[in-house]
Amino acid sequence: MSGNESILPEIVIKGKKIKVPVIQGGMGVGVSLYPLASAVAKEGGLGIVSSACLDRLVSKRTGKKYNSYEAAYEEVSRAKSAGGYAGINIMGALVRDYNDSVKGALDAGADAIISGAGLPLNLPAIQPPKDTALIPIVSSARALELICKKWERLGYRPDAVVLEGPLAGGHLGFKMDQIDLESNILENLFSPVKDMAIKYGDFPVIVAGGIYTHDDILTFLKMGADGVQMGTRFLATEESSASDEYKQAVISAKEEDIIVGHDPGSPCGLPFRVIKQSPMYVSAIKRLRQPKCDKGYVLLKDKEGKFTVCPAKESNEHHFCICNGLLSSAGYNRDKEEPLYTVGTNAARVDTILSVKTLMEELTGKAPAAAL
Ligand SMILES: Cc1cc2nc3c(=O)[nH]c(=O)nc-3n(C[C@H](O)[C@H](O)[C@H](O)COP(=O)(O)O)c2cc1C
């Protein structure tokens, strides 16, 4: 392939021309913070910080108390400070902190808010987004239509959509028995979602889940996608804030080590992909952990409207304590808690830690793959 052919086209989202159509997926807890997002932004992609547990992470880093609004503001501002485009991923499952995180990101001038793990039906109503692109994550055309219809009533339409297939890392938008269906292969999910995006205003479609090489990117662009979102490849970069142990676990992981946890699983109720040797997962499988919830990010409201309910709070029979496990993976409370490592299926292919610059050169086709 000639050099010219392999240079990727830009993606335009809400009038912003992002030179490289690679969105670095938000990775919570504490994996995609400003060092990773700003490095991606600098290389011409869209860098995304994760809002998950950000108040604790930023407070620890700075030695000053930050609430969720302030932490989102701080992290987005830093991610943008070296130039390029940067935004934030805010998961719907983090109900208690959702609105504050959105407001902090908007006030900091995030280039995009990307929101999944639940349908972000109310996102445009929280605060006028001005120049910030609002981008839902979906796993089907049906979910996208629900969002488009609701947003239409709010006088808004998505600025782009991320279609995430079942090979992704983190929480999955599929039930356990849907994960391996032929109909749910990303290539097969794509056309109906593209048609839906055209129907509601022809906004860009970004595909995610299992995309690994420059050629993978070209394949989806040729199918009609406007960009790709990638997580696992950025997890094992120098700039990712995953702990060294986490990065080594990714490098060591073999195909058979990567499983989807569901019982015990995430208190959000969504299947969650993990490395099965993750210390917290091993304890969870053996039902060794005593229930303990002292973080409370996935809390739901009780009858009185207070955020007190978490399925992992009373019993660890069916759920693991995801906040503590993931915080530990980012080195937050490693002395007290066992880490839980989430990855995409392609973690089995990762065998070296790259800088974002080297990875972006490989993904854009400017340099040959260092290791595939
Ligand atoms: C370590 C890790 C953490 C993730 N955390 C989140 C998250 O907090 N919110 C979210 O919407 N997606 C999350 N994801 C999904 C990614 O943003 C991305 O869409 C997905 O991993 C793409 O698939 P890939 O890993 O095969 O590239 C996470 C993925 C990984 C690998």
Q: Answer yes or no: is the C-beta of 13 below 6 A from any ligand 1 atom.
A: no
Q: Answer yes or no: is the C-beta of 30 below 6 A from any ligand 1 atom.
A: no
Summarised one tens digit per residue, pLDDT across range 301-340 is 788 888 777 888 877 888 888 999 999 999 998 888 999 9
- Checking if the pLDDT of 214 tops 50, the result is yes
What is the bridge-based pairing of β-strands 133-138 and 161-164? Answer: parallel
Residues 344, 169 contacting (CB under 8 angstroms): yes
Could you tell me the CA-to-CA distances from 366 to 55, 106, 145, 358, 371 in Å, in that order?
38, 34, 37, 10, 15
Could you tell me the CA-to-CA distances from 211 to 23, 74, 196 in Å, in that order?
12, 30, 22
Q: Answer yes or no: is the C-beta of 168 below 6 A from any ligand 1 atom.
A: yes
Share of the chain above pLDDT 70, in %: 98
Label residue 104 exposed, middle or buried (CB < 10 Å: 0-12, 13-18, 19+): buried
Q: Answer yes or no: is the C-beta of 331 below 6 A from any ligand 1 atom.
A: no
- Checking if the pLDDT of 297 tops 80, the result is yes
Tokens of 57: 């992470």
Q: Which residues pair with 89 in a beta bridge?
A: 50, 114
Distance 70 CA to ligand 1 centre (A): 23
Position 283, amino acid: S
Residues 75, 87 contacting (CB under 8 angstroms): no
Distance 63 CA to ligand 1 centre (A): 28
Could you tell me the CA-to-CA distances from 278 to 113, 222, 267, 336 in Å, in that order?
30, 37, 17, 15
Report the pLDDT value the prediction gives residue 4, as an integer from 0 to 100: 44
Q: Answer yes or no: is the C-beta of 249 below 6 A from any ligand 1 atom.
A: no
Distance 305 CA to ligand 1 centre (A): 30
Position 229, amino acid: Q
Q: Which residues pair with 341 in a beta bridge?
A: none
Q: pTM (2 decimals)?
A: 0.96
84 dihedral zone (left: phi>0; alpha: psi -120 to 50; beta): left
What is the DSSP-derived secondary structure letter of residue 63? Answer: T
Report the pLDDT value the prediction gives residue 212, as an integer from 0 to 100: 97
45 dihedral zone (left: phi>0; alpha: psi -120 to 50; beta): beta
Looking at the chain, which runs of residues are DSSP E strands? 11-13, 16-18, 22-24, 46-50, 85-89, 112-115, 133-138, 161-164, 170-171, 205-208, 227-230, 258-261, 272-275, 300-301, 307-309
Q: Answer yes or no: is the C-beta of 29 below 6 A from any ligand 1 atom.
A: no
Mind listing the domains of the chain with CATH numbers? 3-242+351-363 (3.20.20.70), 244-346 (no CATH)
Distance 32 CA to ligand 1 centre (A): 10
Report the pLDDT value the prediction gives residue 3, as an integer from 0 to 100: 44
Long-range contacts of 139-144 (CB under 8 A, 24+ apart): 139/163, 139/164, 139/165, 139/166, 139/172, 139/173, 139/174, 139/184, 139/189, 140/173, 140/189, 140/192, 140/193, 141/189, 141/192, 141/193, 141/195, 141/196, 143/119, 143/173, 144/193, 144/196, 144/197, 144/200
Q: Answer yes or no: is the C-beta of 329 below 6 A from any ligand 1 atom.
A: no
Position 15, amino acid: G
Average pLDDT over residues 51-60: 96
Share of the chain above pLDDT 90, in %: 83
Label residue 15 exposed, middle or buried (CB < 10 Å: 0-12, 13-18, 19+): exposed
Report the pLDDT value the prediction gives residue 1, as an integer from 0 to 100: 44
Q: Answer yes or no: is the C-beta of 37 below 6 A from any ligand 1 atom.
A: no
Summarised one tens digit per residue, pLDDT across range 231-285 is 999 999 999 999 999 999 999 999 999 999 999 999 888 999 999 999 999 999 9
Average pLDDT over residues 195-203: 97
d(CA 354, CA 358): 6
Mutate to test the pocket of ligand 1, among 189, 228, 232 (most ligand atoms within 8 A of CB): 232
Mutate to test the pocket of ligand 1, among 27, 75, 137, 342 (most ligand atoms within 8 A of CB): 27
Summarised one tens digit per residue, pLDDT across range 61-86 is 999 999 999 999 999 999 999 999 99
Q: Answer yes or no: is the C-beta of 28 below 6 A from any ligand 1 atom.
A: yes
**Which protein residue's CA is at the shortest distance from atom 6 of ligand 1?**
27
Q: Which atom of ligand 1 is nearest to the CA of 242?
A: 1
Q: Answer yes or no: is the C-beta of 240 below 6 A from any ligand 1 atom.
A: no
Q: Answer yes or no: is the C-beta of 46 below 6 A from any ligand 1 atom.
A: no
Which residues lie below 8 Å from residue 60, measured CB to CB, with a gap of 6+? 332
- Checking if the pLDDT of 370 tops 70, the result is no
**Which protein residue's CA is at the shortest distance from atom 2 of ligand 1?**
27
What is the DSSP-derived secondary structure letter of residue 354? Answer: B
Q: Which atom of ligand 1 is nearest to the CA of 137?
A: 11
d(CA 322, CA 31): 14
Summarised one tens digit per residue, pLDDT across range 85-134 is 999 999 998 988 999 999 999 999 999 999 999 999 999 999 999 999 99
Q: Which residues pair with 272 in a beta bridge?
A: 171, 261
In whole numbers, what is the pLDDT of the chain averaged over residues? 94
Residues 283, 338 contacting (CB under 8 angstroms): yes
d(CA 344, CA 210): 7
Q: How many CB atoms lie within 10 A of CB 331?
A: 18
